[in-house]
Structure 1
Amino acid sequence: MKPAIDHEALSGALHALGMLDNASALSAVAGEARDEAEAIRAYIAHERPHLLSCYDMETLVGLVTALLGEGANYPAALEQSHSR
């Protein structure tokens, strides 16, 4: 039996890092994934592939999974729009 993926925590962590662009895409990959790490990898590969030019996939997975247990104490986003 595959472990349940906490969709709310996963989307919260991705959103906190500025990586959640498409909640329905996250739901689609999370439904097919064996675990949260696999869901994160699939989401990044399909929805945020440009991040892989700067970051290692496993580093990104580690950042997101580290936030899964952090509740509302999220750090600033990786991707933010800055207006000057």
Structure 2
Amino acid sequence: MITKTFVVANPQGFHVRPTKTFVECAQLLPCEVYVIANGRRVNGKSSLGLLSLGLARNAEVSIEADGEQEERAIEELGRIMTDIFE
């Protein structure tokens, strides 16, 4: 299991578009993915779970991956978390 913390960079926070991108990527990975923020831990393969966190710009978010390709998951999903979506 790997856990790494990232900061949401998008000025509008982690809204529907980046959430959709994150979940689509997470669903392609064979490992379990969780997102931890605001004292809550949600399934990283669930759009509703991610949106329920209400992640604003500069929010600290931990991504936890467990299983096959967990290192790849942290790298790819962390990049999505820190991208700015126009």
TM class, shorter-chain normalised? 0.3 to 0.5
Q: TM-score, normalised by structure 1?
A: 0.35
- Normalised by the size of structure 2, how large is the TM-score? 0.35
Whose helix proportion is higher, 1 or 2? 1
Bigger relative contact order, structure 1 or 2 (CA pairs below 8 A, ≥6 apart): 2
